[in-house]
A and B are shown apart, each in its own frame.
Chain A
Amino acid sequence: MDWLNTIIRTFFDFGAMAEVLPQLLGVGLLNTLIISVAATVLGVVLGMVIAVMGISPSKWLRVPARIYTDLFRGLPAILTILLIGQGFARFSQSVFGPSPYPLGIIALSLIASAYIGEIFRAGILSVDKGQGEACRALGMSYAKSMALVVVPQGVRRVLPALVNQFIAIVKDSSLVYFLGLLVSERELFRVGQDAAVLSGNLSPLVMAGIFYLVITVPLTHLVNYFDNRFRTGRRRPAAPSSGLKEVKELDAASPLITGSNT
């Protein structure tokens, strides 16, 4: 049973786990959530701009959106984060101070916006063409019909995909550690890794992994739940009814309203 002991000492050293727990909770979890939520919020805003540009009738908006999306979706996240985190370090220093934290968030949100833009675009395009036509036929401008009718419907449809994207961002947020964070800025992965160096085994990282799972697994199931609900609809089963009732109602209405005076 030697190998079992080795496994337990390597991955499930409860002493080392307990030791890192306060830091994971107080520093790691907090920073992971701050980075992920901030990157998601920025990513959603940017993504919406990219999506609307991407479906625009104008080539001058469509092509840049396309290039942007191809670029940030096509590059490995770690490369983008390093290029932006180090490339703009001096600029960032003059705006945000010495911490690379804000740049990490920006890099993550740029990557996320490329994916979110595609999600929004697909959602908006999936809205029945008749919706936009009905708006235009009423005299609404393209911008108004998008803003008031088409985009809200498209967005509602892709909420599950957005939650999936948030899960991806939570995981990618670990890459920010490459930029060299201050002690108080470390996210889950970095906290776990630092503690693993001290404890000499991987248990703190396992603990960090558990934290990630605690965030991501419930969200995954939430997505499935929403997905099911959207697919089956919220409509409760109704008792059998008769279209003739409606006919009767109409007949009861003033004949001048319905025009049936003959």
Chain B
Amino acid sequence: MSVASNTTAPDIETFHGSSLELKNLTMAYGDIDVLRNVSLTVAPGTTTCIIGPSGSGKSTLLRGVNRLHEPKSGDVLLAGESALQVKPDTLRRRIGMVFQHFNLFPDHTALENVALALWSVKGMSKAQAMERARRRLAEVGLAERADHRPRDLSGGQQQRVAIARALAMEPEVMLFDEATSALDPELVKGVLNLMAGLGKRGMTMLVVTHEMGFARKVADQVVFMDEGEVVEAGTPADLFDNPRSERLQRFLSEVL
């Protein structure tokens, strides 16, 4: 472990993202199937953006990947192995998730937010955990704000803490659930740039977003979902410039 400095820009680290594959994934709330037979392949170190109208099952899909909601049928493969065969807690250590409303712990400082899972899940000593948390916060440009509580941070800063918190666990895949939807408009770009940076550094990312500009520019693959199904998937150019389905055409005409 190298000696970290809190003041200068930290070393740029590359990630080793794993592949992620959904096979005929079906998810239900009660008797209602909200996700039907979704199949999707995300190559290691690539970014897949999921777009679609509200209620189309985008968030549910993310929650199926880390089993916050257990899939009804089908399979999720992380690095080629079934994610449904391991204990959920073990699986989630390998998958980071960022939420629309940040979900930071309000009674913890930014630093403690990042450090908590490091000592309580990874079993690091508290000193080690704090040390690593400090470095992660520096990476997202928040070294100076380490001792602030969430309520004293802007939405953009809170979301960057949340990203640092997820990254500190050294995940192989990152899930973003409308990470910028709750942000003030001027703060959106900072978070999106940070996410794009992660993608460039080799993280495998599955991003549910309403930011079409981001999807077009950063995504390796864009998936359009509607009514619990994948309607179209392909490169950003495929979907944004040559939408084939009528549903995607209509969706794009509404949001662009």
Contact = CB atoms under 8 A, between A and B. Distances in A.
Interface string A27-56: 000000000000000000000000000000
Q: Which of B95, B101, B106, B190 has the most CB atoms of chain A within a 10 A radius of its CB? A: B190
Q: How many residues of B sit at the interface, in one of the four size bands?
A: 35 or more
A258 B92 contact: no
A247 B97 contact: no
A57 interface: no
B134 to A, nearest CB: 15
Given A137-B92, A256-B12, A260-B193, A130 B151 contact: no
Contacts of B117: 135, 138-140
Nearest to A128: B103
Nearest to A251: B190
Interface in B92-117: 92-93, 95-97, 99, 101, 103-107, 116-117
A141 B198 CA distance: 27
**Residue with the highest number of chain B CB atoms closer than 10 Å, among A135, A137, A254:** A137
B96, B120, B199: most-surrounded residue (chain A CB, <10 A)? B120
B45 interface: no
A246 B139 contact: no
Given A153-B106, A243-B187, A235 B140 contact: no
Nearest to B10: A257
A133 interface: yes
Given A131-B105, A259-B198, A246 B156 contact: yes
Contact of A247 (B99, B140, B190): B190
Interface string A133-175: 1111111110010001100110010000000000000000000
B99 A139 contact: no
A250 B103 contact: no
B146 interface: no
Given A138-B166, A246-B187, A144 B99 contact: no
A2 interface: no
A249 B141 contact: yes
Nearest to A135: B117
Given A243-B186, A246-B190, A259-B196, A136 B92 contact: yes
B101 A243 contact: no
A239 interface: no
B184 interface: yes
A103 B171 CA distance: 54
Interface string B72-89: 000000000000000011
A156, A233, A243: most-surrounded residue (chain B CB, <10 A) = A243
B interface, by DSSP: helix, strand, loop or mixed?
Answer: helix
A198 interface: no
A131 B116 CA distance: 13
A174 B95 CA distance: 57
B193 A258 contact: yes
A197 to B, nearest CB: 53
Interface in A68-116: none
A152 B107 contact: yes
Contacts of A233: 151
Given A253-B9, A259-B193, A259-B194, A244 B105 contact: no
A261 to B, nearest CB: 8
B189 interface: yes
A139 B92 contact: yes
B136 to A, nearest CB: 11
Given A139-B90, A156-B107, A246-B154, A133 B184 contact: no
Nearest to A259: B197
Interface in A218-262: 233, 235, 243-244, 246-247, 249-250, 253-254, 256-260
A137 B97 contact: yes
Contacts of B88: 136
A243 B120 contact: no
A245 B58 CA distance: 33
B121 interface: yes
Interface of A: 128, 130-131, 133-141, 144, 148-149, 152-153, 156, 233, 235, 243-244, 246-247, 249-250, 253-254, 256-260
6 smallest beta-carbon distances between A and B, as pairs: A259-B197, A139-B93, A134-B103, A138-B117, A130-B103, A137-B97
21 contacts: A134-B97, A136-B68, A136-B88, A137-B96, A137-B166, A138-B116, A140-B121, A144-B120, A148-B120, A149-B116, A153-B105, A153-B107, A233-B151, A243-B184, A246-B154, A246-B156, A249-B141, A250-B141, A256-B9, A257-B197, A259-B200
